A and B are shown apart, each in its own frame.
Chain A
Amino acid sequence: MSNTTTTTNIPDRSWTGRGLARERWHGYLFLAPTLLFLAAVIVLPLFHAFWTSFQRIRGLSSTFVGFANYVRVLEDEAFWHSLRVSLGFVSISVVAHVLLGLLLALALNKITFARTALRVLFLTPWMVAAAVGATIWLWLLEPQFGVINYILQSAGIISAPIAWLGTPGTAFAAVTTVEIWRGVPFIMLLTLAGLQTIPAEQYEAAEIDGATTWQKFRHITLPNLKYLLVVASTLDIINVVRHYDIIGIMTGGGPAGATEVLPALLYNTAFRANRFGEAAAIGVLLLSMVLVFAAMYLRITRVGQEDDRR
């Protein structure tokens, strides 16, 4: 967590860092290739997406239709259904990520044996491609030969094999479980780094006062982690609300739209139904939701402000 923030207190000398007076504008030369490239691969496509959202596209021809795509999307029950699915998917996943990530970080922080090895191990689901993770879970959940049905049947929890991805309720539970499995390590890692910044003296003082484990957690750990947990949750919401790969691989949004989160609705509208205008409109609406959380994130962390001061 250190690299980006430790070196902002540069002594204010006229020469160093800000460059020689005669080369003041040279800095922009170093930035130019990146900025031009990003203009081409991000800004231009983004404008193109906005433009598409105001067009009706049939094959190669397109006509300007104003806000018709937005009206159509917002009048379509499928969009509101998808929004509700997203809301459920994101809130359950993020709450589970934070609770389990915190629990796991607290546990790892307590142990000294094999800590680094365990940390690497716990991070694997996050590092391996979501598409690959989802594929593995497809096999685990396979109705006839899948190992999860076998284990649950042997343990007497279920009496007959379940087609997990075949019915709406279990399909939603399944994709949410996989998202939780994938996302917990992210919160765990951030929390673990946060835990290590809490001064040991605070705990020592509390122990002298005879505080219980719960009291120490409630009055020292939690207040110290509050900022970090808020930031991490916001980032996690942004990551989960736009995530497509797991659902794309496992269900494609089905059955009966039960797992059709907004990115899945967007993909299906564009690439299955070939309605690019409406899909772009859904995308712009999704983007505006992401931006709300991005704005929250910026307010909390004040990213960028220290760079303006220099």
Chain B
Amino acid sequence: MNRTSPLGQAGLWITILIAAIVTVFPFYWMLNTALKPQSEVFLSPPAFYSANWSFDAFRTLLIERPFARYFLNSLIVSLGSTLLSVALATLAAYGFTRFHIKGAGALIVFLLFTKMLPETLLIIPYFRLMSELGLINSHISLILAYSSFALPFSVWMLIGFFRSIPLEIDEAAIVDGASRITTLWRVILPLARPGLVAVALFTFLISWNAYVWALVLTTDPSMFVLSVGIANMVGEYRVQWNELMAAAMIAAVPVMVMFAFLERHLVNALTAGAVKG
């Protein structure tokens, strides 16, 4: 339908090519550096491609540095906040979409409001409250903190998925004698499974990517998550860039892989249902 002149076509692809280079080059350089042996990292001019692939940086991270531990911590707190958020959000989204809730509009606005709070403001009370409770350096403090942004996000996204399931399905189940809980568990959840998976993965990703909460709520290196472990390496006197880039890869690659599966849910996830078409 849109005919474009050859000149226009060229301009189009040049735009896309430049954007692609700017987008991808930092990630290429991460990979390139992570796979360089120590001796090639500080070459001048730098090698844009080195055939001497080396996994020394990864080995150092996993054996000499506690990156396996950081990875495990990231996994525990991200999984914990995901399970907690998705479980609570499933109930809430069912309530929102299946019942008459007085003040539902105000509650939706409240959820939106929580997604807009500056996290740097919230880390102050979190740090003070968790200190008083003796929960600094605990997984539970991070799971609670991450759920504060993961739960509103999950509810918001799940409401969208639940609304797309016709109410007649609930009606049929209840007429057959099922309770609301049975209906939700046996009938609605299986239907909503693709949506639930998408919401769970996104919730996992935003927890995995969080930084400043863990920076404040953990002081013991054995409790660091990946992002804090990486930031900690940046502050070292002599930065080992190949190790740092390998660490960045350990944090980034799971995100990229999951993200490839999630792409089609993206608009809904990034705006969490906030923008209407």
Binding site for B on A (CB under 8 A): 1-8, 10, 15-20, 23-24, 26-31, 33-35, 37-38, 41-42, 44-46, 48-49, 52, 100, 103-104, 107-108, 110-111, 116, 118-133, 135-140, 142, 144-145, 147, 150, 154, 181, 185-186, 189-190, 193-194, 197, 200, 203-204, 213, 228, 231-232, 235, 238, 241-242, 244-245, 248-249, 263, 266-267, 270-271, 276, 279-280, 283-284, 286-287, 290-291, 294, 297-298, 301, 303-308, 310
Contacts and interface: CB of A to CB of B under 8 A. Distances in A.
B147 A130 contact: no
Contacts of A280: 121, 124-125
A32 B106 CA distance: 15
A16 B211 contact: no
Interface in B163-194: 163-164, 167-168, 170-171, 174, 180
Contact of B122 (A35, A49, A104, A194): A49
Contacts of A298: 109, 112
A107 B12 contact: yes
Contacts of B4: 110
B148 interface: yes
B41 interface: yes
A227 B208 CA distance: 33
B96 to A, nearest CB: 7
B35 interface: no
Given A7-B163, A30-B92, A49-B124, A128 B109 contact: no
16 contacts: A4-B160, A6-B164, A34-B88, A42-B117, A111-B13, A126-B270, A129-B210, A132-B227, A135-B231, A139-B244, A150-B44, A283-B120, A286-B121, A291-B116, A307-B96, A307-B105
B128 A52 contact: yes
B248 A132 contact: yes
Nearest to B170: A16
Q: Mostly helix, strand, loop or mixed at chain B's interface? A: helix
B99 interface: yes
A129 B29 contact: no
B46 A203 contact: no
Contact of B266 (A8, A46, A189): A189
Contacts of A231: 274-275
A290 to B, nearest CB: 6
A122 B20 contact: yes
Contacts of A263: 118, 120
A1 B270 CA distance: 10
B203 interface: no
Contacts of A194: 277
A143 B94 CA distance: 54
A308 B101 CA distance: 9
Which of B4, B152, B170, B267 has most A Cβ within 10 Å?
B267
Interface string B253-274: 0011001100100111011011
B8 A135 contact: no
B98 A6 contact: no
Given A110-B12, A128-B255, A189 B120 contact: no
Contacts of B126: 45
Q: Mostly helix, strand, loop or mixed at chain A's interface? A: helix
B135 to A, nearest CB: 13
B121 to A, nearest CB: 3
B123 to A, nearest CB: 8
B129 interface: yes
Given A33-B88, A304-B109, A123 B275 contact: no
Contacts of A242: 116-120
Contacts of A17: 97-98, 167
A23 B95 CA distance: 12
A121 B28 CA distance: 12
A3 B167 contact: no
Q: Lowest 6 CB-CB distances: which A-B pairs, in order?
A: A27-B99, A30-B95, A283-B121, A3-B160, A1-B277, A308-B105
B227 to A, nearest CB: 4
B1 interface: yes
A137 B128 contact: no
A139 B29 contact: yes
A136 B116 contact: no
B166 to A, nearest CB: 8
B175 to A, nearest CB: 9
A124 B259 CA distance: 8
A127 B201 CA distance: 12
B270 A16 contact: no
Contacts of B100: 18-19, 24, 27, 310
B244 A129 contact: no
B276 A4 contact: yes
B99 A135 contact: no
B188 to A, nearest CB: 12
Given A3-B273, A24-B99, A107-B16, A132 B251 contact: yes
Given A123-B266, A136-B27, A271-B216, A31 B275 contact: no
